[in-house]
Every structure is written in structure tokens, then in C-alpha cells.
Chain A
Amino acid sequence: MDQILKERDRLLQRTARLFGLSFTVISILCLAVPGSIDAVAYAVVLPLYGLLATFQYFMGRSRSPGWLLGIVATGLAIIMSMTLLVDTPTQGAQSAITQLSAASLACVAIALATSRPRLYVLVAAVAVVATVTTVLTAMWQPPIRTLLLILTGWVFATIVGVWISAGVPQAARRIASIGRAHRAERQASELEAQRRQSARLLHDTVLATLTLLAHSGVGVAPAALQQQAADDARLLRQLRLGATPTPQSSGDYNLEPVEETVLGTTLESVKQRFGRMGLEVSWHGTGQVLLPSDVLDAFLLALAECLENVRRHSGVTEAHVTIIDDATTVRAMITDAGVGFTLDDVDSARLGFKESVVGRLKEVGGHARLFSAPGSGTTVVLEVPR
């Protein structure tokens, strides 16, 4: 609110400046008509006009009442010197004085129309300008006419100022309500982003499939890849429609909002998925383990990632997965009889292993160990807490 009041004052000052300067120019133009006033009067009045315009210019930049005082004082000085120096009233001089007293000086009313104390100053200013001008021009035109013109001009300028200032709080209220709506929108957006980001298992498999597609799908049976793409597309559609994908149709993902899920059913679908891609997976050990869903997600992801590595790098088409569980941990051993590798040769900090396996397991309090040697296959041990 504080800030918009500053902006309001700035707007009023600028309007007052434009208002004042415009009518100062009109007033000067009236004087510029040949024969309006004589050369001596020009010499006195023109510098004063310059001063007035300067004050009016600076009124647009600062809220200080000093400029306003300067404007009124200079304006009165101009009127005074004209009435003293011009013997016979001409239309030009008369118009110039009217423009000055009723319009150009009235610009201070716009800048003063903001608060009660400033309005008192305004009333005082009107009183001074009206009195001085009416008295000085009493010989030129009927005082009642002068008074009416001046009052009309000043009342008009005051209305302009008051009207603008009255419009600001209205706008400010509506802006504030837009702001509140925006804050709610921001929170909702944050939540929605969270929902999408926490569907990580889904995104992990989408990313895996996209990566396969990025290699044009070479090395995978087209039918299997199409099936995989269809599964992932369906999951994404469900996510988009705001639904929680159902476990039956989602294959190896379980995004159902349940606390614990049986491991066995999901393991079966992981097996089928790798079967489609040409890696035979044999399960050993426990099939019925209950895990909290976030732990299960991480566990399955790490498992699938390991199997993907077997499929890609081991050179064999068979892998064994042994699941063992005790009171505190669930452990999976993924073994293949493939080419193996020297641990030092492969940087285990590669994004793939570190981000998708180690990172995800660590998030749920688990960890992974890797054993391998050239020619003697690879074993990965994954552990998660129950």
C-alpha cells in the first residue's frame, strides 16, 4: 500500500506538471500576440514566466511543498507586475492573467489533493490567489467575473486531483486481491509440480524408454519397444488426467496410494518387461514381501536399472535375482554370468549408477554394492530397510 501511494503521488505530480506547463504556455501565447503589452513589461514578465515554468517542472519530480509555494508566489508576481506595468488593459494581457490565475497556478491543486493537511494548504492558496488577482484586476474586469473564473479553475483542478487519488485505492484493492489469488496459484503450482516430480518411478521408466528411442530403438525388438511405449504413454495420460494410475494396468509401477504393497506381483511385471526385451530373469527366494510404497518404488527402480545394465553390457541373456528378507532389511542380489568388468575401469560415479541406483536407495535409507571382475560376471547387492 505504501508503495502505491508513492506511485500515486508521482502520478499526481506529473499530471500537475503537465497541466501547469500547458496553461503557462497558453498564457505566454496570449501575451505574445503583438500589442498585448509593451517591451518593458515583456522584459519583466518573461523571466518570471521562465521561473514559473522551472518551478512547475520541478514540481513533477519532488513532493516538496517548496515548489508549490514558488509557483504561487511567481504567478502572483507576474500578475502584479502586469497590472502595474500595463496602463490600458488589452485582451491579450487579460487572457494571460486569466489563464495564469485560473488554470496554470491551479496545477498546485492537483498535487495538493492527497491528504487533509495538504487540502488546508490548498484552500489557503486559493484564497490568496483569488484575493490578490481580484483586487489587482478590479480596474480591468468585474471582480465577480474574476472570482468566478478563478474558483471554477481551481475547483476543477482539485476535482481532477481528488478523482485520481480516489481511483488509486480502488485499483490497489483489486491488485491486492489479484496478489492473493496469485499466491494461492503459486502454492497450487508448487503442489502440482511436486505431484509430477514425485511420480518418479513413472518418470524413470519414461526416461528409460525415451533413451531407447533416442538410439532409434536399435537393439530392441520393435514389438517389445512398441508395447513399452504404449504402457508408458498410458501412464503419462493417467498422470495428465489427474488420476492415480492403477496398478493392474500400469505393469511394473505401483502408484496406488497405499502404505504397503506386496513385492511379488510387481516383480513379476519387471520380469515380463525384461522378457520382452530379450533378457530372461529368474527369481529366487521370497516373493511376498510387504514394503512401504516409497521404499518399494526405489527398490524396484534400482533393480530395473541393474537389470538394464545386465541387458546392455553383460553379453548374456539371462540374469538371476535373489530376494532375501529378514526382520530389518530386504536384500536383492542381481547376478549374471556375463563378461564382467574391472571396477576401477568403470567409474561407478557415472550418472546412471550413482543417480538412479545409489541415490534412490539412499533416499529411502538403503544402499548398493557392486562386485565384478572381467570374465566372471557381475553381482549387485541392493539393500533397503523394511
Chain B
Amino acid sequence: MTYSPPDESTLGVLVGVRENRALRTNPMARARRQDGQHRASLGTAFIGIGAALVCALRAIYGFSWFVSLWSTYPNPVPALAAWILLIIVLVTAFVTTRIMGDHLPDWMFLVFVGSLTLVIALDLLAVWDLHDMGRYATASLTAAMSLLLVITLRTTTNVLLVTGIFGAVIAGAMVINTPLTAHNVPTLITSLGFAMLPVVIGVSVVRGFRRMVQVELDRVLVQSTVSAPRFAVGMLASEELARLDLAAEELLDSVATGRNPLPLKPKIASIAASLATELRLHLIEGRRETWLYHAISESEMLGRSVTLVDRGSLAGLLDANQRDGLLAAIWLLLSDNVRPNTNRTVNVQVGPIEQAKQPGIGQKLGVPIVVTTSNVTRNRVDPSTWDAIRRVGRYSDTTQNASLRVDIECFVDNPADV
């Protein structure tokens, strides 16, 4: 076992990098981002099947046109070849995408795009002499729409880029080949629009769906803090402690085996000192944070825009229902981002505790909670926010600095009585 100094301390600071705030990202959020791509594909398979269905319907529509136009082709062989190839490609692509799960390797995507290019070329060749592409092009338009099959498996840029190129090629061919008149231009526009827009809409649906799943996942994961004890160590505490223990073990081992000869070099000594400090902090300070702190710091969405002031760790006293209400309210205040560029923030201040007028057993403690916001106007607040806040306690809402402010009177069981 060799000892290598950790590149990041468990307090979130990179060793050797001083006060670089951008790098102090939450490890939880980082871990989630890494597999976020994978997790966000949850449920998109179903959307993918829907897209494939649309594609199949379009292919049937196009093919029936092709059959009805058969007699008008000067030479139907290239068009027929285009259709046969297209059907093979579509079926193969559908089966492959079902098997591949949520990612299509680059080479497969290139083969797919290459085959579609060939289909478009053959079809355009077949109808070239007819000089009215808006009317006669069939397989090529279906091919341009076939990108729908991979909208859940490739990046938005990939799909849109290829669709754009296909559209441009077909449009170019139309302009060169077909004499433009008031009669046939609308048909050209329509056929092109019907070939390309479904892909654009499909891509936007998949993006929206992914975003929705991401937000919901974030919310559900954070929701588990509601049932946490009054003080909790947070999801990563044991992992951090385990990592520190391992680092200490390796350092001690290297000393024991003489790989780091005594007296130690100043660099190793300073590593030992910082390990001891971190370990001490994790052992002594571990259980001072409440569920609310963990909820905010573990969530990608809340972490960005919520600040918490809770000097007495009073949030830990809230019961599960109150916590659920408070969390839901914060979530609702932030998630209604109708205008994405407005930067909504929420500040939650818990406490200080109110002195009971008549102290005694069974007297509930009053914990005032003040929620101040920025860029949240009262009339844009989702009505269910008020239901959520009502579960925390009696509230009154005012406007402060042109944004909403809610004062909640929250009553909790006195921990001394329990």
C-alpha cells in the first residue's frame, strides 16, 4: 500500500488550492451529475417508442404515396431501392435502439446517418426527371424524419445538426430541380416542414422530459431528509469518514513499514496534521447539521438558490409533516420558473426561539420561520405553496423589496419534554 496525498480534503477544499469557491462543489451533486445522464434517461424509452411509432406512420403514409405514384415514375427502380433500404434501416435501427438501451455508439450513428443519406440520394435521383419534388419525393422525406428514432439516444445537437443538413440538401435539390411557381412552392414548404418539424418537436419533448425527470429525482432524493433525525450527518459523512480513515491508515502504514522514514519530511508531517484536523472536525462536528441543511446542500436545484440561517439548529425540531410542508413550499417557490432567466432566490431564517409566555410541561415551543425571497412576486406564486406553508404553521405574507416575504409561526414539541 502506498500513500498518496488526497487531491481534495473532505471539507470540500482542494489541497493546494486556496479559497476557490467554484471548486467547492457539493460532492453529492457532483456524483449525481456524473450519472445524471443515465438517470435522466429514465422513462425516455417509452417516449422513444412513441417517436418510432410516429416514424412508422409517416413511412406508411409515404409508402402509400409511392405506390400510388408508381406509374408516373420514369424509372421506379432507384425509388424502390430507396424504400427497401429505408425499411431495412428503420427496422434495424428500431431493434438496435431497443437493445442498446440509452446510448448509441458513434459508429452505429454514422452508419445510420450514412444509410439515410443513401436513401435520400436514391429517391432524389428517381424523381429528378419529374421536376416536382414537393409532390413526388417520398422516401427522402421519410428518411429526413427518421432521426426521430434516435432522439432519445443521441445529443440534441447531433440530431438537429443531421436533420438540418438533410433538410438543407432536400431544399437545395428542390430549388435546383423544381421550377418554382405559386402553385408548387406551398407544397414544397409543406413537405419539408412535415419532414423536419417532427424531429425538432421530438427533440424538445425529450429534453423537457429529461428535465422533468431530473427535477423530480432531485426532489425525491432530497425528500428523504424529512424522516432524518434531529441532527444528521448527511449522506456523505460516512463516506468522508471512511476516506479519512483510509488515508490515515495508509499514512500510518507507510510510517510503520519505514517507507516514510522518521523523522518525517515536513510535507508528510503537514499532511498528518491536516488529516488529524479533518478527522477531529468530522468526529466532533459531525452531528450539528439539521435535515434542512442537508436537503439544501444535497440538492442541485436548492443548493443553487437557497440560503439558510439556522443558528440554533432549530429546524431539526420540526416534525415530519412540518418539514415536508416547508420543503415543498421552498420547492414550489423556486420551481415555477416560467421565465428561465429570472434568478429566484429564497432565504430561510429559522429562530431564534420565542420564550413561552407560561413555561411548563407540555408547552409547545414557538419557532419563528422567516422566508424571504427575491424575484418572486406574490401573484406568481403557485396556490399550492400556501397549502404547504399552512402545514408548517400560521403564516402571514408581505412584500419586501418587491418580492415575497412569509413569516411563519411554527410550534414544535419541546425537546426537554420528550
Contacts and interface: CB of A to CB of B under 8 A. Distances in A.
Contact of A218 (B236, B263, B275): B263
A34 B272 contact: no
B209 A240 contact: no
Interface in B233-269: 233, 235-239, 241-242, 245-246, 248-253, 255-258, 262-266, 268-269
Interface stretch (A126-134, A174-182, A243-251): A174-182
A355 B201 CA distance: 63
A222 interface: yes
A222 B382 CA distance: 68
Given A26-B189, A186-B225, A236-B248, A216 B43 contact: no
A284 interface: no
B406 interface: no
A156 B51 CA distance: 12
Contact of A23 (B47, B193, B236): B193
Interface in A188-211: 189-190, 192-194, 196-197, 200, 203, 206-207, 209-211
A171 B42 CA distance: 6
Interface stretch (B104-112, B178-186, B312-320, B392-400): B178-186
Chain A interface residue bracket vs B: 35 or more
B247 to A, nearest CB: 10
A320 interface: no
B213 A193 contact: no
B279 A7 contact: no
B42 A15 contact: no
Contacts of B57: 156
A239 B232 contact: no
A175 B42 contact: yes
A278 to B, nearest CB: 15
B221 interface: yes
Interface of B: 39, 42-44, 46-47, 50, 53-54, 57, 182-187, 189-190, 193, 197, 200-201, 204-205, 208-209, 212-213, 215-217, 219-221, 223-225, 227-229, 232-233, 235-239, 241-242, 245-246, 248-253, 255-258, 262-266, 268-270, 272-273, 275-276, 279-280, 283-284, 286, 328, 331-332, 335, 338, 382, 384
23 contacts: A3-B332, A3-B335, A6-B382, A15-B205, A18-B200, A22-B197, A29-B193, A163-B47, A175-B213, A175-B220, A178-B221, A183-B227, A189-B233, A189-B238, A192-B238, A203-B283, A206-B248, A214-B269, A215-B269, A216-B262, A229-B255, A240-B242, A240-B246
Given A196-B238, A222-B263, 20 more contacts: A3-B216, A7-B215, A15-B205, A22-B197, A22-B201, A26-B193, A34-B182, A160-B50, A167-B50, A171-B42, A190-B237, A192-B242, A207-B279, A216-B263, A217-B255, A217-B263, A217-B264, A232-B249, A233-B253, A233-B256
